[in-house]
């Protein structure tokens, strides 16, 4: 009797993605491996879109080369034209060839050559110098080839795959290497609060582009028009700048990230640009961001003290403030908690921000949400117009001279695990969609006319900037714990019952002690020694 082979178990998407990472394990450093995997994923998705568009052209015009090879026919529908040697099908067919590394490098170079918008996006000459064996490169191609819409019916498969690799490599990186990635739930929270339905979204330190991606996802969730949003940003790290361009390009998000990767402070690529929304996660507590005598007369600090060289936190704040549209601009960004109560020139800047009524909300996030630090950080909301107005169909009340404080550190922690190795994981706290909705509800009820907002102990508090018990009376500190009421839960203890329990335990301990003493006396007595 012939035994039939067991049907191979269908791999999940996570298993396929994990195998992609494993294929290059031990080959190079984490940054090179990240770029190798993500760039090939880019070619895979770009190739899928190209083939789908080519099929459409054949159906409409027939198998005519003058149509099939016309670049504009692809670019018109936001698809990259790929010459034969850049097509994913070509790389798959040649995956076992000894020169596959060179073929991959050629594929990327030719793709950039045919698509000016990809200039500087793909890593050129990487695979020839990666040092990976043929079997490793073939395994990587084979695993990436398994990622397809036919196999995995995901609503946003491209997003899922890119999100996986960005967060996974960030989780295994050092503090500096992991700075480019902000957890998606945090970015989603920012988007839900500032509501970028239409206009220009700006990020002065855009990392891998997560803020831009979530601004588009926000519009999609609320059935808006993605084309009504344009994204503008800047990034100083060349490798991360490329990652961002690649991340946005593969999702079809048009962008302006400046002509080069350079410091926002010393070479602003969007000088004098005014924007509607800002979403950002600047590097925490950045030192030496300018020279000692540099940028002292910069227009961005006009009306404020010059931010200190020792810490860029307030330089980021003033830079973003200078970019906001003076009538309706809103910014949501993250900073280390130290900025809430910093003194010196930073304290004076904070005081001026409050006097100028630019701060709308301060939200402290739980610890352990980030891949490269376990500290708690703060989400700041700046608003150029806190007066009564209509916004996105809501009637907002006049919040002039008020600031809303929210502290999420006492909330139940939702834990996710990210696999770093076969037996090594990293735990991170995430905000659930329900928790994000709850924060949004608190914020909007505080903003809205007749919103029904109420202060909640250990969660939220609305404070006046000036007056008796006010922010000013606390030296303009923005630390939420100075204002939000915290309950001493020790007072909730049943004192009589608790003392009875302790009394009973003490009696038992004393009885045990007496028994032990008696046993010790008897033991010595048994060997003719008295200890009493």
36-82 pLDDT tens trace: 888 999 999 999 999 999 999 998 888 877 778 889 999 888 899 99
Where b means 16+ CB within 10 Å and e means fewer, 408-436 reads beebebeeeebeeeeeeeeebbbbeeebb
From 280, 277, 279, 261, select the one nearest 269 (Cα to Cα): 261
DSSP for 239-304? Answer: HHHHHHHHHHHHHT--EE--SS---TTTS-TTTT--BSEEEE-PPTT----S-TTSSTT-GGGTTS
**Domain endpoint, select from 444, 462, 482:** 482
Structural domain contains residue 120: yes
Q: Which residue has the tokens 């990436």?
A: 144
**Domain endpoint, select from 119, 153, 187:** 153
Give the number of other Cβ atoms within 10 Å of residue 252's Cβ.
Answer: 14
- Collapse the DSSP code of 30 into the 3-class scheme (helix H, G, I; strand E, B; otherwise coil) and give the result: helix
pLDDT attached to residue 488: 63
Read off the pLDDT of residues 433-468 as tens digits, 9 standing for 90 and up: 999 999 999 999 999 999 999 999 999 999 999 999
- Asked whether residue 324 falls in the same domain as residue 310, the answer is yes
- Residues in the chain, overall count: 532
- Asked whether residue 110 falls in the same domain as residue 202, the answer is no
Tokens of 4: 């039939």
DSSP 489: G
Contact 245, 255 (CB under 8 A): yes
- Cα-based torsion angle of the residue sequence 440, 443, 446, 449 in order, rounded to the nearest 10 degrees: -50
- Asked whether residue 452 falls in the same domain as residue 492, the answer is no
Structural domain contains residue 226: yes
Structural domain contains residue 125: yes
Contact 242, 123 (CB under 8 A): yes
- Asked whether residue 87 falls in the same domain as residue 208, the answer is no
- Asked whether residue 57 falls in the same domain as residue 193, the answer is no
Number of independent structural domains in the chain: 3
Structural domain contains residue 2: no
89 lies in which domain range? 13-153
- Asked whether residue 134 falls in the same domain as residue 17, the answer is yes
Give the number of other Cβ atoms within 10 Å of residue 83's Cβ.
Answer: 15
- Asked whether residue 371 falls in the same domain as residue 356, the answer is yes
What is the Cα–Cα distance from 86 to 77, expressed in whole angstroms? 19
Q: Look up the CATH number of the domain holding residue 18.
A: 1.20.1260.30
- Collapse the DSSP code of 521 into the 3-class scheme (helix H, G, I; strand E, B; otherwise coil) and give the result: helix
DSSP tally for the chain: helices H, then strands E: 15, 13
Structural domain contains residue 6: no
Give the number of other Cβ atoms within 10 Å of residue 325's Cβ.
Answer: 15
pTM: 0.83
What is the Cα–Cα distance from 301 to 79, expressed in whole angstroms? 42
pLDDT attached to residue 363: 97
Q: What parts of the chain have a pLDDT lower than 70?
A: 1-9, 28, 154-156, 170-180, 371-372, 417-426, 488-495, 532
Give the number of other Cβ atoms within 10 Å of residue 95's Cβ.
Answer: 18
pLDDT attached to residue 23: 87
| H or E element that contains 327 | none
pLDDT attached to residue 5: 44
Ramachandran class of 209: left when φ > 0, alpha when ψ lies in -120 to 50, beta otherwise: left
pLDDT attached to residue 471: 97
Burial class of residue 64 in the structure, from the number of CB atoms within 10 Å of its CB (0-12 exposed, 13-18 middle, 19+ buried): exposed
- Asked whether residue 137 falls in the same domain as residue 213, the answer is no
- Asked whether residue 25 falls in the same domain as residue 110, the answer is yes
pLDDT attached to residue 88: 96
Structural domain contains residue 165: no
pLDDT attached to residue 28: 67
Structural domain contains residue 7: no
- Asked whether residue 118 falls in the same domain as residue 213, the answer is no
Return phi, psi of residue 277, to 5°.
Answer: -135, 145
What is the Cα–Cα distance from 172 to 126, expressed in whole angstroms? 21
- Cα-based torsion angle of the residue sequence 183, 186, 187, 190 in order, rounded to the nearest 10 degrees: -170
- Asked whether residue 429 falls in the same domain as residue 458, the answer is yes
Read off the pLDDT of residues 122-166 as tens digits, 9 standing for 90 and up: 989 999 998 889 999 999 999 999 988 788 776 667 777 877 777
What is the Cα–Cα distance from 262 to 31, expressed in whole angstroms? 19
From 169, 178, 159, 265, select the one nearest 221 (Cα to Cα): 159
- Collapse the DSSP code of 456 into the 3-class scheme (helix H, G, I; strand E, B; otherwise coil) and give the result: strand
Give the strand pairing for 229-233 and 255-256: parallel
DSSP for 358-394? Answer: -EEEEEEPPSS-SSS--S-EEEEEEES--SSEEETTE
pLDDT attached to residue 29: 73
Contact 173, 21 (CB under 8 A): no
Whole-number Cα distances in Å, 69 to 58, 81, 147, 229: 11, 8, 26, 31
**Domain endpoint, select from 443, 462, 482:** 482
Contact 166, 181 (CB under 8 A): yes
- Asked whether residue 84 falls in the same domain as residue 193, the answer is no
Q: Look up the CATH number of the domain holding residue 255.
A: 3.40.50.150
Structural domain contains residue 305: yes
């Amino acid at each position: 009797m012939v035994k039939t082979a067991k049907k191979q178990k269908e791999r999940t998407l996570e298993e396929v993605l994990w195998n992609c990472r494993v294929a290059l394990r031990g080959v190079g450093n984490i940054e090179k491996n990240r770029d190798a995997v993500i760039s090939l994923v880019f070619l895979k998705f770009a190739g899928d879109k190209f083939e789908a568009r080519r099929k459409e052209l054949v159906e409409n015009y027939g198998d005519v080369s003058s149509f099939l090879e016309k670049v504009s026919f692809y670019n018109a529908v936001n698809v990259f034209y790929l010459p034969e040697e850049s097509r994913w099908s070509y790389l798959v067919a040649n995956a076992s060839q000894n020169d596959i590394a060179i073929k991959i490098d050629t594929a990327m170079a030719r793709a950039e050559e045919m698509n000016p918008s990809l200039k500087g996006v793909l890593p050129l000459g990487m695979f020839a110098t990666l040092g990976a064996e043929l079997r490793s490169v073939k395994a990587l191609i084979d695993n990436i080839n398994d990622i397809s819409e036919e196999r995995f019916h995901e609503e946003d498969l491209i997003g899922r795959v890119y999100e996986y690799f960005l967060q996974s490599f960030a989780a295994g990186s050092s503090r500096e290497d992991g700075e480019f990635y902000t957890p998606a739930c945090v970015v989603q929270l920012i988007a839900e609060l500032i509501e970028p339905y239409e206009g220009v979204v700006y990020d002065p330190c855009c990392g891998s582009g997560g803020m831009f991606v979530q601004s588009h996802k926000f519009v999609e969730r609320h059935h808006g028009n993605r084309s009504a949003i344009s994204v503008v940003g800047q990034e100083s790290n060349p490798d991360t700048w490329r990652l961002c361009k690649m991340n946005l390009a593969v999702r079809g998000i048009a962008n302006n990230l400046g002509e080069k990767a350079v410091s926002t402070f010393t070479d602003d690529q969007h000088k004098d640009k005014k924007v509607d929304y800002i979403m950002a996660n600047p590097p925490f507590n950045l030192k030496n961001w300018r020279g000692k005598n540099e940028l002292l007369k910069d227009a961005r600090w006009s009306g404020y003290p010059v931010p200190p060289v020792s810490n860029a936190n307030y330089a980021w704040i003033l830079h973003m403030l200078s970019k906001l549209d003076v009538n309706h601009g809103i910014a949501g960004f993250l900073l280390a908690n130290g900025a809430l109560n910093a003194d010196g020139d930073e304290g004076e800047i904070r005081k001026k921000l409050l006097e100028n009524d630019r701060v709308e909300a301060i939200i402290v996030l739980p610890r352990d949400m980030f891949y490269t630090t376990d500290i708690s950080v703060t989400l700041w909301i700046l608003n150029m117009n806190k007066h009564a107005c209509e916004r996105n169909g809501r009637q907002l009340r006049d919040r002039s001279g008020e600031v809303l404080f929210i502290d999420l550190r006492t909330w139940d922690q939702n834990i996710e695990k990210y696999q770093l190795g076969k037996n090594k994981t990293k735990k991170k706290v995430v905000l659930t969609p329900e928790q994000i909705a709850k924060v949004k509800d608190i914020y909007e009820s505080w903003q809205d006319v007749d919103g029904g907002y109420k202060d909640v102990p250990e969660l939220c508090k609305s404070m006046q900037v000036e007056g008796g018990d006010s922010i000013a009376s606390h030296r303009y500190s923005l630390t939420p714990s100075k204002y939000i009421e915290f309950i001493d839960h020790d007072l909730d203890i049943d004192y009589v019952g608790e003392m009875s329990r302790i009394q009973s335990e003490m009696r038992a301990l004393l009885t045990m002690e007496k028994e032990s003493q008696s046993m010790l006396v008897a033991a010595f007595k048994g060997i003719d020694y008295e200890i009493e």
